[in-house]
Structure 1
Amino acid sequence: MNIKRNWAGIVSGFLLFTVVCLSLSLNVTGAFRASGHSELGLLFFVLPGAAASFLSRRGEVIRPLLGAMLAAPVCLLLMRVLFVSSRSFLQELAWLMSGVFWCALGALCFLFVRRMLHRRRHRK
């Protein structure tokens, strides 16, 4: 059971990061560009980090981050092969690394909220 719990954060982080990346590449590109805020979609990468941290043992941050780092090259390859992009390779790489950052931030936010709720419960 412990081994499965260790891999849950990595696998869920990998899958959710890939899903968010592909959904942003498919659906949202025109919506945010029309509003003038093309990179608001990066905030969606907080969700895979928080979900993977929830599934990790003790709400770790490293496992969701590792899952996102493993998913980034796969997403870059899929984006270059499947979609015609107006961005250069380095711009897409920077966008994906920003997604990894936001994913780690989501895991940290989940850990913070979890600790605050745990402290509040023990004070009463």
Structure 2
Amino acid sequence: MRSERGWAGVICCFVLFIVVCLFLLLNMKGAIRASGHPELGLLFFVIPGAVASFMSSKQRVLVPLLGAILATPVCLVVMRFWIFSNRSFLQELAWIFSAVFWCALGALFFLFISGLIEARRGRG
């Protein structure tokens, strides 16, 4: 049972990471660029990390990180071949690695919040 929940977390993060990547590449392209802060879209990658951390029972940081790392090549292929961008490959690689960082940070944030809730229950 425990390993099934781990794989569910990996698959959940994999799918959500790709969905967030496609959403940012297709829908938010003009809005984020027009605001002058294109890096703000990377904050959406916190969501797959937090959801995958919620789905897994053990290794709540490694499971989302593994899902994000597995989704990275898929997102790079989509960015290079189906969505025409004016960025170089190294810029896209840096963007996707920072997305992996934000995904892991989302998992850490969920772990922090769940720890606070458990500590609060233990005191009360």
TM > 0.5 between the two? yes
**Alignment match, 2:51:** 51
Size of the aligned set, in residue pairs, is 124
Structure 2 segments unaligned to the other structure (5+ residues): none
Who is 1:34 aligned against? 34
- The CA deviation at 1:77 is 0.5
Tell whether 2:103 aligns with 1:103.
yes
For residues 4-44 of structure 1, what are the alpha-carbon distances to aligned partners after superposition, in whole Å with 9 as ceiling and x for unaligned?
11201111110000000011000101101111111110000
- Any unmatched runs of 5+ in structure 1? none
Letter in 2 for 1:93: L
- Residues of 1 paired with 2:56 and 2:2: CA distance? 10
Provide the residue aligned with 2:63 in structure 1.
63
State the AA in 1 paired with 2:56: S
SS of structure 2 residue aligned to 1:57: coil
Over aligned residues, Cα RMSD in angstroms?
Answer: 1.0
User: 1:19, 1:81 → 2: CA distance?
Assistant: 17
Aligned equivalents of 1:76, 1:29: Cα separation in 2: 16
Report % sequence identity: 62
